Copies of this chain bind each other. A is one copy, B any other.
Amino acid sequence: MEKIIFQGKSEFQELLVFESSRHGKVAILDGCIQLTENDEFAYQEMLTHLALCSIPNPKKVLLVGGGDGGILREISRHSSVEHIDICEIDKMVIDAYKKFFPDIAVGYEDPRVHVHIRDGIAFTNSVPEGTYDVIIVDAFQPMGPIAEVLADNCFLESVAKALRPGGVLSAPADSLWHKNFVVADTIANCKKIFKGSVNYAWTTVPTYASGVIGFMLCSTEGPPVNFKHPINKLNPEKNGVAKGPPKFYNPEIHAAAFCLPSFVDKVVDPIRY
Contacts and interface: CB of A to CB of B under 8 A. Distances in A.
Interface string A233-265: 000000000000111111011011101111101
Interface stretch (A71-79, A117-125, A144-152, A205-213): A205-213
Nearest to A248: B261
A263 B250 contact: no
A39 interface: yes
A64 to B, nearest CB: 26
A259 B263 contact: no
Most chain B CB within 10 A, of A206, A257, A265, is at A206
A255 B255 CA distance: 10
A27 B271 CA distance: 36
Contacts of A249: 261-262
Contact of A262 (B176, B247, B257, B259): B247
A119 B256 CA distance: 38
Contacts of A205: 211
A210 to B, nearest CB: 4
Q: DSSP majority for the A interface? A: loop
Chain copies in complex = 2
B260 A253 contact: yes
Contacts of A210: 204, 206, 211
A6 interface: no
A29 interface: no
Interface string A21-51: 0100000000000000001001000000000
A79 to B, nearest CB: 19
Contacts of A259: 252-253, 255-256
18 contacts: A22-B179, A39-B177, A42-B261, A177-B204, A204-B204, A204-B212, A205-B211, A206-B210, A206-B211, A210-B211, A211-B212, A248-B262, A249-B262, A250-B261, A250-B262, A253-B260, A253-B261, A255-B259
Given A204-B261, A247-B262, A256-B259, 15 more contacts: A22-B179, A42-B261, A177-B204, A177-B206, A204-B210, A204-B212, A206-B210, A206-B211, A206-B212, A247-B261, A252-B259, A252-B260, A253-B261, A255-B256, A256-B256
